[in-house]
Amino acid sequence: MKTKFLFPNRFKRIGWIILVPSAILGILIFFGIVDFKFLEVKVFAIYSGSLLPGGETVFGVINENISEEIFEILCIVGAILVAFSKEKQEDEFIAKTRLESLVWATYINYAILILCLILFYGTGFLYVLWFNMFTLLIFFIIRFYYILYKS
């Protein structure tokens, strides 16, 4: 079966190699267990807000530790490679399972987001949005590979 928009199968292994360590390190950074001081650099920011009055930067250079951003990008890239790489034997069943898993993951992701809109406020909701960057892909990967494993 001819598939469009999917990466070759060999990218799946690369995706796992990127996803697992970057997710672990990202979680450790998020909870403040690990800190990469050497990644504190000056970066261009379109907007950077601060809780202090006058602490906003608009279109300027700020000093920032970019470790979170690096591992977030690596997690997203790794998850995309895992989720959207072809299987060794790509057939109609795989294509149907892939589509159904993507629809299922979207429904679950937005159901959880709606629930969080009702139950989380302030900074807590910002954390929900941060995690929400990854949950759609993670839900898709879990369901897709679970269905493949089951069959």
Question: Domain locations in the chain?
Answer: 7-86, 87-151
Per the structure block, which two tokens stand in for 136?
A: 């759609």
| H helix or E strand, kind and range, residue 30 | helix 10-30
Q: Is the pTM of this model over 0.75?
A: yes
48, amino acid identity: S
Per the structure block, which two tokens stand in for 77?
A: 């890239």
Under DSSP, is residue 121 helix (H, G, I), strand (E, B) or coil? coil
> pLDDT tens digits for the chain (151 residues)?
567 889 999 999 999 999 999 999 999 998 989 989 999 999 988 888 765 666 677 888 888 889 999 999 999 999 999 999 999 988 899 999 999 999 999 999 999 999 999 999 988 898 899 899 999 999 999 999 999 999 8
Rounded-to-integer distance, Cα 140 and Cα 101, Å: 6
Tell me how far CA of residue 4 lies from CA of 8, 85, 138, in angstroms.
11, 11, 22
Per the structure block, which two tokens stand in for 113?
A: 């987001």
What is the b/e burial string over 17-36, where b = at least 16 CB atoms within 10 angstroms of the residue's CB?
A: ebbeebbebbeebeeeeeee
